């Protein structure tokens, strides 16, 4: 068969017919009146073509299920329903709900969707099947009447912390057509780039072509990414080495196998995935679409999520399954993780596209027996990718018969190191650890994962030609949302009781308190943090706070308005406070039950103890022995009076303003002015989240939230 015949067959094959139909116009939208479903409809309205587009809404109502449940509950109804006439009345009412009510509700969902479609001049159809929602949606998707299914990641049952709804997960796993899953009700597709993840599979190229079509419809930017993990097999081989005996290692030829993997993974797989990007770029050129492409390194779903956040993507597009999928797989591992964790909407594709050059290569190129045997020397997990690389090389050079020497040329190109010995490899593997990198692992990685993360960091150091593992080699593999003090030295072992005591410290103060406690341990020349050390650290924290906030109690509340104070303000916890109550005075206080209950509303730990102390100082000043809730509220009112007089003097970003809404009313005004002071020191013309973060970090080190005693607190280095 010649090239033209192969190309003709490729164009007329069933797969190619489906794959080349990149246009899509028939959308099935799951409706349930949730914000996610409503947003799904809104996004579809922007994507569907205005000429031949069609939207079908679907909502299933489980009438028989509701009826069965009601009959099961009849025996547990209150006594007043035990009268047969009353029970029959309730049955009639419920029957009306089942027969008419659920239908009316479903019709209402459709009415809203239809009005939206009518306003756009789009066709709208209704599907209102009876039965389980997810199964009826799948049945509709299997009819062949729809190109894409759109639904919300969550529904009416969503609660804080939910990642994916059960209906969404069940539907996506079983859907035979592309799925658009809405993950952010505040984000429009097109607000940021469309990111397409490519792994060389037919479905990844199929979703790429659909991505181009979407980009044309809404005038969006397209980014193409491909990712590979050069660390996994290094971890796996070292784990294997830890359980193999010397004899077993010789039989397995462990060092030779490891050397082969090192060469292949460090150089070869990167080139294979880069070639996937190059094919994707060629497809983009053919379709006249400008793209940004990037090869990512690391665990696929994680580095893709990081990239989505970096570019503020609005839509991620991936194949439902990837290059290593078998026929029984419903969803790929990376696709499943991204379905739950993607910060933007996600499109999971079922449409396939095989680039013409690969179709032609498969049909026109033959392999010799020797070449096939040589290929089998490669690990099984990369043989398919290596075969594609050889076919591409042969096609570029005009070969139609693959011999061993051609495979060797490609292999040497993929593995330019060409044959480092096992001894050389073992020598290269010797790396040392810096103290700060070790500390990062101990402090920020859970014990079951520590060994794996250490191996990944070692591999990264070796790839960077470093003989020492540094912080920069560890940081990519640990949670960057944790407040990491890069370069911090020292290894502290916390007793369980000590960690339990620390957990009672309010979140906002916990990191600073932990640092203070570890400083106490260091001063005592120990790395063991016992309960005694914790209490000593907490006592120091209390003393530091008292010193920072202490002011004379008889100073008038209006002091904040004195001309000499206009550049600053008085912390409400500092106003009207003495350093300490005497032991005699403490013994005379009686806390009424309602006052204790009021204190219990304050987060347990340092904040509650400080507030209690300030109230006792206030009571001592007024010679009051019994502290009641009224007295506590009186003190709060005094603080609030001073804070209320503080007015914002700068413009605030909405997200920065949202951050301070969590602060109690009676201190918020003071805190806002302190953050504005920080913003001015940062030379900002408005308050941003960066100013909030900078101020928060400074306060953690001080133990309070005012900088009167440290005017250079926020100055840039």
Kindly write down the DSSP assignment for every residue of 467-485, as one continuous string: SEE-HHHHGGGS-TTS---
Confidence bin at 203 (pLDDT 50/70/90): very high
Integer CA distances (angstroms), 547 to 502, 574, 667, in order: 22, 10, 19
CA–CA distance, 584 with 571 (Å, rounded to integer): 28
Residue with the larger pLDDT of the pair 169 and 63 = 169
The whole-number pLDDT of residue 429 equals: 56
Residue with the larger pLDDT of the pair 692 and 395 = 692
Confidence bin at 712 (pLDDT 50/70/90): low
Averaged pLDDT for residues 306-317: 94
**Identical fold, 17-219+311-349 and 430-477:** no
Q: Which of 152-161, 259-268, 539-548 has the lowest mean pLDDT?
A: 259-268
Structure tokens at 16: 């190619």
Residue 321 confidence (pLDDT) above 90: yes
**Using an 8 Å Cβ cutoff, are 151 and 181 in contact?**
yes
The whole-number pLDDT of residue 223 equals: 97
Averaged pLDDT for residues 86-97: 61
432 SS3 class: strand
Q: How many CA atoms lie within 13 A of 389 on its CB side?
A: 26
Predicted confidence (pLDDT) per residue in 324-361, tens digit: 888 889 999 999 999 999 999 999 999 998 887 665 56
The whole-number pLDDT of residue 519 equals: 79
Averaged pLDDT for residues 429-443: 79
C-alpha dihedral (547, 553, 556, 561), degrees to nearest 10: 10
Averaged pLDDT for residues 701-714: 51
Nearest CA to 29 out of 21, 39, 41 is that of 41
Structure tokens at 387: 């075969």
Nearest CA to 573 out of 629, 638, 523 is that of 638
Predicted confidence (pLDDT) per residue in 470-527, tens digit: 878 888 887 644 433 333 344 677 776 677 677 666 555 666 777 778 878 877 878 7
Residue with the larger pLDDT of the pair 155 and 27 = 27
The whole-number pLDDT of residue 209 equals: 94
The whole-number pLDDT of residue 617 equals: 79
**Using an 8 Å Cβ cutoff, are 40 and 150 in contact?**
yes
Question: How does strand 194-197 pair with strand 315-319?
Answer: parallel
Write the CATH number of the domain with boundaries 493-549: 1.10.8.550
Residue 7 confidence (pLDDT) above 70: no
Q: How many helices (H) and strands (E) are present in the chain, helices listed first?
A: 33, 20
Residue 533 confidence (pLDDT) above 80: yes
CA–CA distance, 581 with 7 (Å, rounded to integer): 91
Nearest CA to 42 out of 115, 106, 130 is that of 115
Residue with the larger pLDDT of the pair 568 and 83 = 83
Give 320: exposed, middle or buried? Use CB within 10 Å, 0-12, 13-18, 19+: buried
- The mean predicted confidence, pLDDT, of the chain is 74
The whole-number pLDDT of residue 583 equals: 45
Residue 406 confidence (pLDDT) above 80: yes
Residue 165 confidence (pLDDT) above 80: yes
Residue with the larger pLDDT of the pair 125 and 476 = 125
CATH architecture of 430-477: Orthogonal Bundle (1.10)
CATH architecture of 17-219+311-349: 3-Layer(aba) Sandwich (3.40)
195 SS3 class: strand
- Sorted by sequence, the CB contacts under 8 Å of residue 68 that are 6+ apart come out as none
Averaged pLDDT for residues 199-209: 92
Confidence bin at 250 (pLDDT 50/70/90): low
- Sorted by sequence, the CB contacts under 8 Å of residue 500 that are 6+ apart come out as none
pTM above 0.85?
A: no
The whole-number pLDDT of residue 547 equals: 57
Predicted confidence (pLDDT) per residue in 553-588, tens digit: 444 444 444 333 333 333 444 433 334 444 444 446
**Using an 8 Å Cβ cutoff, are 338 and 301 in contact?**
yes
Q: Which of 103-117, 335-349, 433-447, 507-521 has the highest mean pLDDT?
A: 335-349
CA–CA distance, 99 with 88 (Å, rounded to integer): 16
C-alpha dihedral (446, 448, 453, 458), degrees to nearest 10: 120
Predicted confidence (pLDDT) per residue in 605-662, tens digit: 545 666 777 788 778 877 788 888 888 887 777 766 655 656 778 888 877 887 776 5
Residue with the larger pLDDT of the pair 161 and 54 = 54
CA–CA distance, 462 with 266 (Å, rounded to integer): 10
- Sorted by sequence, the CB contacts under 8 Å of residue 244 that are 6+ apart come out as 252, 254
Residue with the larger pLDDT of the pair 714 and 15 = 714
The whole-number pLDDT of residue 193 equals: 95
Domain ranges within the chain, ordered by starting residue: 17-219+311-349, 430-477, 493-549, 646-717
Structure tokens at 124: 């709208």
Q: What is the DSSP letter of 61?
A: B
Q: Which of 140-154, 208-222, 589-603 has the lowest mean pLDDT?
A: 589-603
Place of tokens 């503020």: 312
Averaged pLDDT for residues 197-213: 93
**Using an 8 Å Cβ cutoff, are 669 and 646 in contact?**
yes
């Amino acid at each position: 068969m010649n090239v033209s015949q192969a190309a003709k067959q490729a164009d007329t094959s069933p797969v190619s017919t489906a794959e080349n139909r990149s246009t899509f116009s028939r959308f099935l939208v799951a409706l349930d009146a949730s914000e996610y479903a409503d947003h799904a409809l809104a996004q579809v309205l922007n994507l569907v073509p205005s000429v031949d587009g069609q939207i079908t809404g679907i909502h299933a109502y489980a009438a028989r299920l509701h009826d069965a449940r009601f009959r099961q509950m009849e025996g547990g109804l209150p006594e007043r329903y035990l009268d047969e006439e009353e029970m029959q009345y309730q049955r009639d009412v419920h029957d009306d709900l089942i027969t008419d009510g659920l239908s009316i509700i479903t019709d209402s969902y459709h009415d809203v969707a239809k009005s939206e479609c009518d306003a756009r001049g789009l066709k709208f159809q209704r599907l209102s099947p009876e039965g389980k929602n997810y199964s009826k949606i799948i049945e509709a998707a299997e009819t062949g009447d729809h190109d894409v299914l759109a639904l919300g990641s969550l529904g009416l049952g969503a609660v804080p912390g939910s990642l994916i709804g059960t209906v969404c997960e069940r539907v996506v796993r079983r859907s035979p057509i592309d799925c658009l899953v809405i993950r952010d009700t505040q984000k429009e597709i097109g607000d940021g780039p469309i990111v397409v993840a490519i792994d060389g599979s037919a479905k990844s190229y199929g979703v790429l072509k659909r991505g181009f079509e979407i980009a044309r419809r809404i005038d969006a930017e397209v980014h193409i990414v491909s990712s590979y993990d050069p660390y996994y097999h290094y971890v796996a081989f070292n784990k294997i080495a830890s359980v193999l005996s010397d004899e077993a290692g010789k039989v397995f030829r462990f060092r030779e196998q490891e050397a082969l993997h090192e060469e292949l993974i460090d150089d070869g797989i990167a080139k294979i995935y880069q070639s996937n990007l190059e094919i994707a770029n060629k497809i983009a050129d053919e379709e006249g679409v400008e793209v940004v492409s990037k090869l990512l390194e690391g665990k696929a779903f994680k580095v893709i999520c990081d990239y989505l956040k970096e570019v503020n993507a609005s839509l991620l597009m991936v194949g439902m399954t990837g290059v290593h999928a078998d026929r029984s797989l419903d969803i790929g591992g990376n696709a499943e993780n991204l379905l739950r964790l993607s910060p933007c909407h996600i499109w999971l594709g079922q449409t396939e596209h095989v680039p013409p050059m690969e179709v032609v290569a498969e049909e026109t190129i033959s392999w010799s027996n020797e070449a096939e045997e040589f290929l089998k020397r490669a690990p099984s997990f990369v043989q398919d990718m290596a075969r594609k690389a050889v076919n591409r090389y042969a096609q570029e050079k005009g070969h139609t018969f693959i011999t061993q020497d051609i495979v060797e040329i490609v292999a040497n190109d993929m593995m330019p190191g060409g044959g480092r010995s096992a001894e050389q490899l073992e020598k290269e593997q010797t790396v040392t650890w810096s103290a700060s990198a070790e500390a990062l692992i101990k402090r920020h990685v859970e014990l079951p994962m520590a060994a794996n993360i250490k191996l990944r960091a070692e591999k990264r150091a070796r790839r960077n030609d470093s003989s020492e593992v540094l912080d920069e080699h560890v940081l990519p593999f640990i949670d960057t949302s944790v407040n990491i003090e890069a370069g911090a030295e020292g290894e502290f072992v916390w007793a369980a009781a000590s960690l339990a005591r620390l957990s009672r410290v309010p979140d906002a103060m916990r990191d600073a308190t932990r640092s203070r406690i570890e400083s106490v341990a260091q001063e005592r020349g120990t790395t063991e943090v016992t309960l005694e050390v914790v209490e000593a650290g907490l006592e120091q924290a209390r003393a530091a706070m008292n010193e920072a906030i202490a002011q004379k109690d008889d100073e008038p509340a209006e002091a904040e308005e004195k001309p000499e104070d206009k550049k600053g303000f008085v912390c409400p916890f500092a106003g009207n406070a003495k350093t300490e109550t005497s032991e005699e005075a403490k013994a005379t206080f009686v806390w009424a039950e309602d006052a204790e209950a009021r204190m219990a509303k304050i987060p347990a730990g340092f904040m509650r103890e400080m507030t209690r102390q300030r109230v006792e100082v206030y009571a001592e000043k007024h010679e009051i022995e019994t502290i009641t809730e009224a007295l506590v509220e009186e003190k709060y009112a005094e603080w609030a009076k001073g804070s209320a007089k503080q007015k914002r003097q700068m413009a605030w970003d909405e997200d920065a303003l949202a951050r301070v809404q969590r602060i109690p009313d009676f201190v918020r005004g003071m805190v806002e002015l302190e953050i504005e002071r920080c913003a001015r020191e940062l030379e900002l013309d408005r308050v941003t989240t960066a100013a909030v973060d900078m101020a928060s970090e400074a306060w953690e080190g001080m133990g309070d939230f005012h900088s009167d005693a440290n005017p250079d607190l926020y100055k840039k280095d």
